[in-house]
Every structure is written in structure tokens, then in C-alpha cells.
């Protein structure tokens, strides 16, 4: 039972971390530091990856599967001679993880939107294709 409580605490911390990212990352200072350290193009590509990851359905499908497992666990718990508080302790971490997984695409989209706002604030057009600015030899310089 103690391990379930510890797992619930860790899952709550993970959910809190994701909420922090959703609300505050990247700040303008962090975004400028990333740009200075990695370059304008690398930060732009990072933003596009966030946008692409935010549009995928994989985290939601995995969260639905996880919630299905939670429902099954709650359904079979009377057969395992468990008390209600033991079932709650067992399933709390998984519910928090499922909530975090449901919110992941939205979090990535919010981060990308914030990065677009930072790009607009320095006078760049975030919707302009960055491939137009490349010269012949620059493509190998940004290969990740």
C-alpha cells in the first residue's frame, strides 16, 4: 500500500511538471537563450516538431487503453478480496498518468504557439517556409 501511495505522489509530480510546461515553457528569456546557443533555424525546427507531435493521436489512444485497464482492474477487484481504499490506492497513479497523457498533445501545441508568438515579437514570420532561406551547403549543418 505504501508503494501505491509513493507511485501516486510521483504520478502527481509528473502531471504537475506537464502543467508547468504547458503554462510557462518557453519563457522569452529561455527562448532567446535557446536561439543564441543553437541558432534560429534549430529552434524553428524544434517548434515544428512540437507542432507535429501535438497533432498525433498516439498519446490519446494509449491513455484510452490505460483507462480501459483501470476499469478492468476496478471491475475484478472484488474477486481479489481488496478493500475499496486499496483499489483507489492501486489505480490513482494510473489515472494521473492517463490524464497527463490526454493533455500531452495540447501541451505540445501550446508550447509551439508560445514559440510562434516569440518569433513574431522579434519580427519574424513563423509561417514562412524556412527552406527558402537555406543556401546549398546549409542543409547538412542542421541535420540532427
Non-local CB neighbours of 14 within 8 Å, separated by 6+ positions: 96, 97, 100
pLDDT score of 1: 65
Does some domain include residue 79? yes
Does some domain include residue 131? no
Does some domain include residue 38? yes
Residue matched to cell numbers 490513482: 92
Does some domain include residue 140? no
Per-residue pLDDT of the chain (144 residues; tens, 9 = 90+): 677 778 888 989 999 999 999 999 999 999 999 999 998 888 999 999 999 999 998 989 999 999 999 888 888 888 888 887 788 888 888 899 999 999 999 999 999 999 999 999 988 887 887 676 665 555 555 555
DSSP state letters, 20-51? HHHHHSSPHHHHHHHHHHH-HHHHHHHHHHHH
pLDDT score of 85: 79
Does some domain include residue 5? no
Domain that holds residue 68: 25-126
Length of the chain (residues): 144
Domain count, the chain: 1
**What is the C-alpha R_g of the chain?**
21
Does some domain include residue 6? no
Look up the pTM and report it.
0.79
pLDDT score of 30: 92
Amino acid at each position: 500500500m505504501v508503494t501505491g501511495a509513493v507511485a501516486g505522489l510521483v504520478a502527481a509530480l509528473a502531471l504537475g511538471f506537464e502543467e508547468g510546461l504547458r503554462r510557462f515553457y518557453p519563457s522569452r528569456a529561455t527562448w532567446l537563450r535557446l536561439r543564441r546557443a543553437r541558432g534560429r533555424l534549430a529552434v524553428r525546427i524544434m517548434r515544428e516538431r512540437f507542432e507535429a507531435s501535438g497533432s498525433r493521436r498516439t498519446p490519446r489512444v494509449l491513455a484510452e487503453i490505460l483507462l480501459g485497464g483501470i476499469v478492468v482492474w476496478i471491475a475484478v477487484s472484488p474477486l481479489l478480496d481488496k478493500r475499496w481504499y486499496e483499489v483507489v490506492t492501486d489505480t490513482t497513479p494510473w489515472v494521473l498518468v492517463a490524464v497527463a497523457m490526454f493533455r500531452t498533445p495540447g501541451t505540445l501545441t501550446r508550447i509551439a504557439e508560445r514559440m510562434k508568438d516569440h518569433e513574431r515579437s522579434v519580427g519574424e514570420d513563423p509561417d514562412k517556409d524556412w527552406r527558402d532561406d537555406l543556401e546549398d551547403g546549409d542543409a547538412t549543418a542542421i541535420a540532427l
